[in-house]
Structure 1
Amino acid sequence: MLLIDKEVPQMIKSHNERGTWYWYVLLLEVSLNICGEYSPTSTIASDRPKVFVALVVRNAEHVLPYVLGGLERQNYPQNRMTIWIRTDCNMDQTSELLKKWQQGTNGVYAAVDLEVLPCSLPHEKYPFAMDDTRARHVEMLRDTAMATSRQLAYDFVMFLDSSSFLVDPSSITDLVDSGRDIIGPFLPSLNKHGNFWCNTSTEGRYIRSEDCTEIFEFQKLGIFDVGLVHGVLMINLKNPDLLDLRFGSEKSDMRQYQQFLLNMIRRNVTANIINKRQYGYSMIPLVNGSTFLDQTDGFRNLQLEVLVYREAIPQTKYITVEEEDPDTLGFDHIYFINLDRRPDRKKRMQNSFQALNMEVERISAVDGEKLNHDLLDTMGISMLPSYEDPHKKRPLTMGEYGCFLSHYAVWRNVVEKGYRQVLVLEDDIRFDYNVRHRMTQVWEDIDRLNLEWDLIYLGRKRLMDDEEPYVKGSQHLVHVSYSYWTLCYMLSSTGAQKLLAGNPLTKMVPVDEYLPIMFDRHPNEEWKGSFENRDLRAFSAYPLLVYPTHYTGEFGYISDTENIAEWGDGLDDGAEEREPISDSEANGRDLALSTHDEL
């Protein structure tokens, strides 16, 4: 899965690869965190260059609040900015939202110039059609914006679009201060690319190239010459060589961006991209025939990936965003296990649940650091005598006890409440793309096949090379082999009853060893012999719907569980992780149920 936020240090894959640029990025990130909340209106200056911000937008109801939110978050003096917006041919509430935003920002910027144009392309069948006719129409509007900005004697014109989202408050400031004539902030997308072309031909065409990999990966930071910047870019209006620069062309054989590129080439002007910070993100472009649901899913996928590494994409404060009523994805209930000392994970998961319109109950966990030998004895909890970590040759850690207790309490709660089917989540997970739609597909297979099931993994680590055939007649479910991790799993009432009936508290093993024991796919025969009824009906979604946020060895990987004391008192400083193990599986192991609160 693509890791899109390469500015922050946790994105770096290898400690040995870190050089001067790494520590520079770390300093940038720390400085941004120290700044805290930004107040754009606090930076009022009359001597800063004037910036004309142009936005051409259509059918953007679902994403517009975030496009405008990123603009509002900028720390550039707002009295030096005019916002010019043109919209037409909307099949949603885009026009109405823009009018509300214009009213809300009255007096905030130097001016907000909004015009809802008559639809000049009424033949469009789909909300996101982008044929040559539409592309030329957008280029014409951009040329109109550039001409208007020149007439008003502005210093810079900056173009935004409805598929790009600024998150760094210094985006406009850095572009103005860059000293470049045509420059854009690097805005990566989920397919690794973003808003620039690395190389172009003399005919104004895109050339596929790997030359800019280090820019894409944030391995080099700075300002770089590139073939083209598009989507979000700034142009210096004071350069006389750019007086007649245009986007559009009346020639019907010109492709999108081609006229702009040819104009640059004739004037010997270079485009630049800046990646000194994580300025924002861009959506994967919607293709012809895409629907509003495709737009919503595309933005949701981007939003969920962003949340793995940083704060949510900011929303406008001048438009009330109407949210759908949350649901439980077809389950009777959804549980989310989270340590009280991990409020950062709680906040990130709450934001993820909000993005997915999920109604979830948080389980406040008892910290494994608070468990000890005497307390476990008092509770009647003991380790399976024959258990020894298969890799590190050690007994259970206190974190592993705590994790088991939290999952055990969820199973017990399922039975007590009479739930038929629930979803159990840990707090260090990332959702795969289109997870709501894919969850629907899993349910459809279960219902169509009348599948009798007790437990279905939605996120796991497969450990054996054993064949895992598809469930007959299913395209989304497989028979499961020996697996680790309890990131996310579906559990039925009969499954919960079977897990409780195994009486695991007096012969405890890590919870992700216990599950494969109970569905009789564990390779350790001695451990299995301690549990008589191993008839849990287990399956797995394929492909998986949930993955860990970090893997062992990645920067940002933290194992709360493996660093918590083993059986006895105090920490074992020499203890290492069970392998293979993930951050999610490890952190989950020091959880134990204490209270419930609704999110």
Structure 2
Amino acid sequence: MSSLYKSTGLTKSPDSNWMEFCLQWSKSQSCNYLFITSPDNLLMENSLKKLINLKFIAVSPLLNGPFGKYSNVYKLLESDFIERERVESQQVYYFNLPILINLEAPEIQKLTFNEKNVEKYDRKSTDPIQIFAFAAYSNQIPLFVDNHEFYGYILDSKFFSQNYHRKLLGYFLANQISESGPMPIPHSTVLEAWYPPTSKFGFDKIYLINLKRRPERLQKMSSIMRHLGIEFEVFEAIDGTAISPTELSALRFLPGYEDPFSKRPMKFGEIGCFLSHYKIWENVVKNAFNRVLIFEDDVRFAENSTIELSKMIEDIMKTHLEWDLIYLGRKKMTPHGDEFFVPGHQYLSTLAYSYWTLGYAISQNGAKKLTDAKPLQKLLALDEFLPIMYDKHPNPQWSKYFNPRDLKAFALWPVIVTPERYTHESGYVSDTEASNVITLVTNP
């Protein structure tokens, strides 16, 4: 810290009004500026410099909740300002932390957080921020909230229990890691970082599928799992680009199959993806696991993901629901398909034609049904195979090759995992899509 600041220190406020104490202490030290914040506020780099350059007497930066539900101006300003559809420095009567105060301004002598220092203060509130706002209004000193820049996030602990606030911080950090890499926020060099205790959430195993040539994804996902308290094992993916001609010749492809959108045969990456999941299904059957979670290594976890996952298992245990497969995240391919919440379940719904295997739960019975279908003798993309097996695929010509089609499949709603990047976003990389199309399109 000493290398970053002229001086640092820890001082306990002699009374509960610590903001007034900070203001008076800063004046006594002839400081140029006072920035008042709290541990709930997480600011982006150079935020202070940008606020100083605005040259206001007192200004607060707009901070957003990490999942878009609230901000530090919640119920104070309109949504177009909060969502930055309207970008400006908005004059306000009242604002919240954080606050930058220009101590060089002459008017600063009239600002205070202490009601005893304000003439004719007739409000019931003893909130220091409200007293500060009243003092500014009484002396015609403008207060501003600025949204010209993205200044950062707020995780307001006043709204949550300590336990949930910790979980929310974990979801936030996991999301930041998805965006920026394994350490988006520096750790203290003094205090040991806190992580939640790990859990398998009622599953026998939680697998993370990872290509050996993608160590950066494993590093990122390991950090995410640690922040979310997920105990997992790495399952080395089969690299489709490394499949030999001999291995390829042992496979049989579904007659007449081609990608529904690109009108092409399978790609090597799609073969590797299918084989990776198939090996896990075999492993589930071999080891008689009751239920297993499977994640791919390019997922992003949603807010409340682990809470929703725990609740899902709790409801399954209570209702004794028979299930084979549960999508934790998916792309619904029939927007108007009939799907309904399952009675007795808070988050579980029935399932129409859907894509994506980025995260799903599978039972012993489900894994056996999938392997018994002998898909390696009539191979097609995994996204098409699963809907066939729960009998919701729109192509009867493909479906007729698989019997029975009685997989008991469901979906979590809302989803708890999504792709880390979508195809149109910067940084999107797909080993499946980037691979070559197979040339073996007919079977001997």
TM-score by length of 2: 0.86
Among 238, 244, 247, the residue aligned to 2:113: 247
**Which residue number corresponds to residue 224 of structure 1?**
89
Preserved CA contact (<8 Å) 1:284 1:298 = no
Q: State the 1:268 CA deviation.
A: 3.4
**Which residue number corresponds to residue 314 of structure 2?**
444
Quote the Cα distance in structure 2 between the aligned partners of 1:353 and 1:178: 40
Secondary structure class of the residue paired with 2:404: coil
How many residue pairs match? The answer is 428
Amino acid paired to 2:36: F
**Which residue number corresponds to residue 102 of structure 1?**
none
Aligned positions of 1:414-433 closer than 5 A: 414-433=284-303
Secondary structure class of the residue paired with 2:410: strand
Aligned positions of 1:486-505 closer than 5 A: 486-505=357-376
2:135 is the counterpart of 1:269? no
Quote the Cα distance in structure 1 between the aligned partners of 2:76 and 2:205: 51
Q: State the 1:452 CA deviation.
A: 1.6
Q: State the 1:341 CA deviation.
A: 4.1
Quote the Cα distance in structure 2 between the aligned partners of 1:244 and 1:484: 62
**Which residue number corresponds to residue 119 of structure 2?**
none
1:526-570 CA distances to partner (integer Å, 9 max, x unpaired)? Answer: 21111222222212222222222333434443333223211139x
Preserved CA contact (<8 Å) 1:182 1:234 = yes
Quote the Cα distance in structure 1 between the aligned partners of 2:331 and 2:417: 11
Quote the Cα distance in structure 1 between the aligned partners of 2:416 and 2:354: 15
Which shows bigger deviation, 328-337 or 407-416?
407-416
Preserved CA contact (<8 Å) 1:455 1:537 = yes
Among 548, 554, 562, the residue aligned to 2:419: 548
Secondary structure class of the residue paired with 1:308: helix
User: In the superposition, relative to structure 1, how do residues 322 and 269 fare at CA in structure 2: closer, same or farther (>3 Å)?
Assistant: closer
Quote the Cα distance in structure 1 between the aligned partners of 2:96 and 2:428: 35
**Which residue number corresponds to residue 158 of structure 1?**
35
Q: State the 1:511 CA deviation.
A: 0.7
1:481-520 CA distances to partner (integer Å, 9 max, x unpaired)? Answer: 2211112111111211221111111211111111111122
Quote the Cα distance in structure 2 between the aligned partners of 1:324 and 1:285: 18
Preserved CA contact (<8 Å) 1:471 1:477 = yes
User: In the superposition, relative to structure 1, how do residues 275 and 334 fare at CA in structure 2: closer, same or farther (>3 Å)?
Assistant: farther
Quote the Cα distance in structure 2 between the aligned partners of 1:270 and 1:286: 24
1:156-205 CA distances to partner (integer Å, 9 max, x unpaired)? Answer: 2111212112352x3344445554432344432133653357xxxxxxxx
Q: State the 1:146 CA deviation.
A: 0.3
Root-mean-square deviation (CA, aligned residues, Å) is 2.8
1:68-91 CA distances to partner (integer Å, 9 max, x unpaired)? Answer: xxxxxxxxx32x2xxxxxxxxxxx
1:101-125 CA distances to partner (integer Å, 9 max, x unpaired)? Answer: xxxxxxxxx23123286xx8xxxxx
Secondary structure class of the residue paired with 1:475: coil
Amino acid paired to 2:388: I
1:315-334 CA distances to partner (integer Å, 9 max, x unpaired)? Answer: 32211234343111111110
Preserved CA contact (<8 Å) 1:167 1:313 = no
Quote the Cα distance in structure 1 between the aligned partners of 2:338 and 2:373: 27
Preserved CA contact (<8 Å) 1:376 1:382 = no
Preserved CA contact (<8 Å) 1:186 1:195 = yes
Among 366, 375, 385, the residue aligned to 2:255: 385
Quote the Cα distance in structure 2 between the aligned partners of 1:192 and 1:434: 13
Amino acid paired to 1:568: T
Which shows bigger deviation, 549-558 or 147-156?
549-558
Preserved CA contact (<8 Å) 1:245 1:263 = yes
Amino acid paired to 2:439: G
Q: State the 1:358 CA deviation.
A: 0.9
User: In the superposition, relative to structure 1, how do residues 329 and 420 fare at CA in structure 2: closer, same or farther (>3 Å)?
Assistant: same
Q: State the 1:238 CA deviation.
A: 1.5
Quote the Cα distance in structure 2 between the aligned partners of 1:368 and 1:178: 54
Q: State the 1:408 CA deviation.
A: 1.0
Quote the Cα distance in structure 1 between the aligned partners of 2:55 and 2:216: 38
User: In the superposition, relative to structure 1, how do residues 177 and 468 fare at CA in structure 2: closer, same or farther (>3 Å)?
Assistant: closer
Among 331, 346, 356, the residue aligned to 2:228: 356
User: In the superposition, relative to structure 1, how do residues 144 and 540 fare at CA in structure 2: closer, same or farther (>3 Å)?
Assistant: same
Aligned positions of 1:40-439 closer than 5 A: 77-78=4-5, 80=6, 110-115=7-12, 137=16, 140-168=17-45, 170-176=46-52, 179-189=55-65, 190-191=67-68, 193-196=70-73, 207-212=76-81, 216=84, 224-227=89-92, 229-249=95-115, 251-254=122-125, 256=127, 257-265=129-137, 266-273=139-146, 275-276=148-149, 278-284=150-156, 286-287=158-159, 290-311=160-181, 312-371=184-243, 374-378=245-249, 380-439=250-309
Quote the Cα distance in structure 2 between the aligned partners of 1:282 and 1:399: 40
User: In the superposition, relative to structure 1, how do residues 382 and 248 fare at CA in structure 2: closer, same or farther (>3 Å)?
Assistant: farther
Preserved CA contact (<8 Å) 2:2 2:8 = no
Preserved CA contact (<8 Å) 2:62 2:145 = no
Secondary structure class of the residue paired with 1:515: helix
Amino acid paired to 2:380: V
Preserved CA contact (<8 Å) 2:251 2:376 = yes
Among 408, 420, 430, the residue aligned to 1:537: 408
Q: State the 1:284 CA deviation.
A: 4.5
Amino acid paired to 2:98: V
